[in-house]
A = this chain, B = another copy of it.
Amino acid sequence: MKKIRIGIVGYGNLGKGVELGITQNTDMELVGIFTRRKADTIELLTKNAKAYHINEAKKMTDIIDVMILCGGSKSDLPSQGVEFASMFNTVDGFDTHAKIPEYYDAMNQAALKSNKTSVISSGWDPGLFSVNRLYGDVVLPEGKNYTFWGKGVSQGHSDAIRRIEGVVDAKQYTIPKEEALMKVRDGHMPALSTRQKHLRECFVVAKEGSDLSRIETEIKTMPDYFSDYDTIVHFISKEELDRDHNKISHGGFVFQSGRTGIDNENNHIIEYRIKLDSNPDFTANVLLAFARATYRLNKEGKYGAKTVFDIAPAYLSMKSDEELRRTLL
């Protein structure tokens, strides 16, 4: 069987996760990774592929079936996405929720023009969580949807702390509040404020001699990032941070709570939970499943941008429809 030939754009944690994930998918092979760094300085984790400068990609349109875009949603994907969608089938995990409609339109135009297929915003949120929000919403329409994130590291919030004067390094964990989870599980469909849903716990390394209480106040009152939350700040040493907080674990919950019955007397709860040792590894594996779908959709002439909502589950699997019905249905 001809394997699906994968390219990776960007070789950070996510790109490395994709590289490893390909070895778990026997119908795929890695052609190369594409980077803005000097390609000959890159050492790949696996042995069968090569690193290229990103500018080389355009010469390889006929030997790569799907390009996995592993750049960031803020600065990379908005320009890189469209550029690659005009040359390759692509998959990405664009995750700036508010800008998805705009990104979709741009990617859709580019992909339609080139007869390519681009799956955008796959991963876990957006991605698997979105799918679960949708299934929940349609089966319990008289209900309420809840998404919780964590426990896990928020890169954006960690960065925001690092920008405060006197901070050397920092890690921020988003933590769902146990009490809120219990209330949702009880089926009472509580209205929960931002503060009631999540806690923010920060581990901060401060420059020697800094005013710790000023730093703590600056964190806790930071608008958008912290001011709407209960925030806990710990000051620790650089050694402690590197030793105890070097994981990129994450997780989260999607709930749908709804009622049925002649007097709405029946409660139903759907709870979807993920617990990940490595956020980038897991995200990478989701992107790869959608890469398979991208490849197949394109073969069927289904061009343009797609999201996880547009893709029948069977497209994601190596197994035949007949095998799926026999083994997983």
Which of A3-11, A201-209, A264-272 lies at the interface? Answer: A264-272
Q: How far is the CA of A264 from the CA of B157 in the complex (A)?
A: 29
* A: interface residue count bin: 35 or more
Residues of chain B within 8 A (CB-CB) of A329 are 97, 100, 121, 126, 130, 307-309
Contact A262 B20 (CB under 8 A): yes
Judging by beta carbons under 8 Å apart, are B269 and A275 in contact? yes
**Is A314 in the interface zone, CB < 8 Å from B?**
yes
**A100 neighbours in B (Cβ, 8 Å):** 325-326, 329
Q: Please determine whether A24 and B141 come into contact, CB atoms closer than 8 angstroms.
A: yes
Q: A100-B325, A101-B326, A310-B312 are in contact. Are A317 and B138 (CB under 8 A)?
A: yes
Interface residues of A in 289-329 (CB under 8 A from B): 289, 292, 307-314, 316-318, 321-322, 324-326, 328-329
* Cβ of A173 under 8 Å from chain B: no
Does A278 contact B260, Cβ atoms closer than 8 Å? yes
The answer to whether A140 has its CB under 8 Å from any CB of chain B is: yes
A261 to B15, CA, bound (A): 12
A159 within 8 A of B: no
- Give, as a whole number of angstroms, the nearest-CB distance from A125 to chain B: 9
Q: Are B272 and A268 in contact (CB under 8 A)?
A: no
B-contacting 9-mer, from A35-43, A109-117, A162-170, A279-287: A279-287
Is A325 touching B101 in the complex (CB atoms < 8 A)?
yes
Minimal beta-carbon separation of A269 from chain B (angstroms): 5
Copy count, this protein chain: 2
Closest to A256 in B: B274
**Contact assessment for A133 and B328 in the assembled complex, using a CB-CB cutoff below 8 Å:** yes
A128 and B271 CA atoms in complex are apart in Å by: 12
Least CB distance from A281 to B in Å reads 4
A76 to B70, CA, bound (A): 51
A310 to B100 alpha-carbon distance, docked (Å): 25
How far does the alpha carbon of A206 sit from the alpha carbon of B139 in the complex, in Å? 39
Q: How far is the CA of A66 from the CA of B200 in the complex (A)?
A: 49
A277 at the interface (CB under 8 A from B): yes
List, in ascending order, chain B residues with CB within 8 A of A314's CB.
Answer: 134, 309-310
Q: With a CB–CB cut-off of 8 A, which chain B residues contact A45?
A: 262
Q: Counting CB contacts under 8 A, is A180 at the interface?
A: no
Q: Which residue of B lies closest to A247 (CB)?
A: B266
A308 contact set on B, CB distance < 8 A: 313, 329
A residues at B contact (CB < 8 Å)? 17, 20-21, 24-25, 45, 97, 100-101, 104, 121, 126, 128, 130-135, 137-142, 185, 260-262, 265-278, 281-282, 284-286, 289, 292, 307-314, 316-318, 321-322, 324-326, 328-329
Would you mind naming 6 contact pairs between A and B with Cβ atoms under 8 Å apart? A24-B260, A100-B329, A134-B316, A260-B277, A310-B321, A311-B312
